[in-house]
Amino acid sequence: MNKKYKLSDFDYNLPKELIAQKPATPRDHSRLLILKKNSTEAPKPPRFCKNRGGLGAEHKHFYDLPGYLKKGDVLVMNNSKVFPARLIGKKKTGGKMEVFLHKFIKENDWQCLIGGRGACSGLEIFFSENLKCKILKNNNDGTWEIKFNMGYGEMMKVVEKIGQVPLPPYIDRKSEIGFRISDKDDYQTVYADDEKIGSVAAPTAGLHFTPELLQKLKDKGVQIEYITLHVGLGTFAPVKIGDITQHKMHVEFVEISSDTLKKLRKAINENRRIIAVGTTSTRTLEAFSEIIQNSPVKRAQAKFTRQASTGKIQNYSGWVDIFIYPGYKFKVIDGMITNFHLPKSTLLMLVSALAGKENIDKAYENAIKNKYRFYSYGDAMLII
């Protein structure tokens, strides 16, 4: 019988100075903890000599990643692109208002968070000479529905110019704009797809990759595939209920191409490892596991688009709210690359499900002792 965990089981103390405020430079010079799944061996202390063999757990750097992957491994990455979803505007009276775009609804309508005094239905907020919005209603769940005076495409062009990167609250930017100019590039993976704009937070496990490292992996014969999960505001939401099984996950939009599904299915049939880059890729693959395994029931439930000329299915899409915590049996992935996560977060619960709760506890304790950098701009872990 699986142990029943409480929310307090996923708490830990982190010295404030270990919360990374900027990324490593170059990106792949961040540290990398190699952790074996369900291993009882604590990570070895850092060595100046070169570790060989990959036994137990080791302290390395992210540029060492090719040494732990092999020809035929499939690395799955989330190519969603972060857009500057934080808009600073004013009311007619001059009072400052902040709008944090959360979810596109239809045409000119969005769901968002609103900061500032006096938010109410009918209030107009002005962002630039051309862009404004009107509050339609309070959703009474912390979000609001608003309508812009421009359609999606035209509005997003303006937002790209005036919007701000919505950095997590633990990244401290002591200025009115709340971010550095470099954050627009730093808080974006090098493989983010311009056609896949929609995340309000970066899939941070991917921030460690450089074009050069990706090429080294390809040269080694590692197969790289992309899925899309648009990261929503819920990624920052803490679990607040003691019985974690009662927690309700936020819903996020996912898209996987038919070609990628076929390649993943082939890799599974050939017993090749599938390694997810980040919790978003992991949740996508596990939520779509039955589609990947060609289940007709799940296939019928998923939405799909067809190529106009041939009628062939091009991609599958849907909304994902899968919650993975210890006791979950993984169906698709064999390993993952991940950052070090917030206490009491669903992300920490997910990695605990994959590597083993006690194993993760020891790894985090050791990472703190060895002054790893935590959270979005922090260091990484490879669980295999």
The tens digit of pLDDT for each residue in 344-383 reads 999 999 999 999 999 999 999 999 999 999 999 999 999 9
Residue 76 backbone phi and psi in degrees, to 5: -110, 125
* Strand 223-229 versus strand 252-257 pairing type: antiparallel
| The residue to which tokens 């808009």 are assigned | 87
Q: Per-residue pLDDT averaged across 131-159, rounded?
A: 93
| The residue to which tokens 């857009």 are assigned | 83
Q: Per-residue pLDDT averaged across 114-142, rounded?
A: 94
In b/e form, how buried is each residue of 303-323, taking b as 16+ CB within 10 angstroms?
ebeeeeeeeebebbbbebebb
Q: How far apart are CA 112 and CA 121, in angstroms?
A: 13
The tens digit of pLDDT for each residue in 319-347 reads 889 999 999 999 999 999 999 999 999 99
Using the predicted structure, report yes or no on whether residue 16 has a pLDDT greater than 50: yes
Query: What percent of the chain has a predicted confidence (pLDDT) above 90?
Result: 68
Domain residue spans in the chain? 7-82+188-383, 86-163
The pLDDT, as a whole number, for residue 55 is: 37
> What is the CATH superfamily name and number for domain 7-82+188-383?
QueA-like (3.40.1780.10)
The pLDDT, as a whole number, for residue 317 is: 86
Using the predicted structure, report yes or no on whether residue 252 has a pLDDT greater than 90: no
CATH for 86-163 (3.50.50.60, 3.50.40.10, 2.40.10.240, 2.60.40.10): 2.40.10.240
Using the predicted structure, report yes or no on whether residue 62 has a pLDDT greater than 80: yes
Paired tokens of 88: 């600073």
Sign of the torsion formed by the C-alpha atoms of 104, 106, 112 and 116: positive
Q: How far apart are CA 341 and CA 14, in angstroms?
A: 11
Q: How many CA atoms within 13 Å lie on the side-chain side of 141? A: 9
The pLDDT, as a whole number, for residue 3 is: 79
The pLDDT, as a whole number, for residue 103 is: 83
Answer for the pair 292, 268: CB distance below 8 angstroms, yes or no. yes
SS (H, E, C) 72-131: CCEEEEECCEECCCEEEEECCCCCEEEEEEEEEEECCEEEEEEECCCCCCCCEEECCCCC
The tens digit of pLDDT for each residue in 201-230 reads 999 999 999 999 999 999 999 999 999 999
Whole-number average pLDDT of the chain:
87
Q: How far apart are CA 228 and CA 196, in angstroms?
A: 7
Using the predicted structure, report yes or no on whether residue 307 has a pLDDT greater than 60: no
